[in-house]
């Protein structure tokens, strides 16, 4: 069973960039539909990026063009490059893995709609003016 550990969160200013990392152990990330979701207290979880076993990626409109998900199979690590951050991006960010078939069907929506194979502990991102 895969285990995930995120890192890279922090406090940045409006318009700046940040990269989150997610190191996997126990299994290869490329065997899963992998990605990221975020959550603000008292709000619904929001899927923000997915990468499938074939490296196909998907994003919702809220982050399309600003966020980029990638995976390094050698390092068994996934990344989320976040550019042009705005105040609405402030949230706890989680990396997640789900059964591989879901990426093709649900893409970034996978991680808030299906039982997860694994989820990291979360890393906080705070954007301020």
Angstrom distance (rounded) from CA 122 to CA 59? 19
pLDDT number for residue 102:
96
Which tokens is 101 given?
A: 């078939």
Angstrom distance (rounded) from CA 66 to CA 118? 25
pLDDT number for residue 76:
98
The distance of Cα 39 from the centroid of its chain, to the nearest Å, equals 11
**Confidence at 129, pLDDT banded by 50, 70, 90:** very high
Phi, psi of 112 (to 5 degrees): -115, 10
pLDDT number for residue 111:
95
Percentage above 90 pLDDT, the chain: 99
Average pLDDT rounded to a whole number, residues 60-75:
98
Average pLDDT rounded to a whole number, residues 109-124:
96
pLDDT digits (tens, 9 = 90+) for 25-55: 999 999 999 999 999 989 999 999 999 999 9
pLDDT number for residue 74:
97
């Amino acid at each position: 069973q895969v285990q995930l550990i995120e890192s890279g969160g922090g406090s940045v200013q409006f318009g700046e960039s940040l990269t989150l990392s997610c190191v996997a152990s126990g299994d290869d990330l490329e065997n899963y539909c992998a990605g990221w979701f975020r959550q603000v207290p008292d709000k619904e979880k929001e899927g923000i990026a997915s990468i499938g076993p074939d490296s196909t990626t998907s994003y919702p409109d809220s982050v399309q063009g600003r966020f980029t998900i990638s995976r390094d199979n050698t390092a068994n690590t996934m990344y989320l490059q976040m550019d042009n951050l705005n105040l609405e991006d402030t949230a706890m960010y989680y990396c997640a893995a789900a059964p591989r078939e879901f990426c093709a069907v649900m893409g970034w929506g996978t991680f808030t709609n299906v039982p997860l194979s694994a989820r990291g502990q979360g890393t906080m991102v705070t954007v301020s003016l």
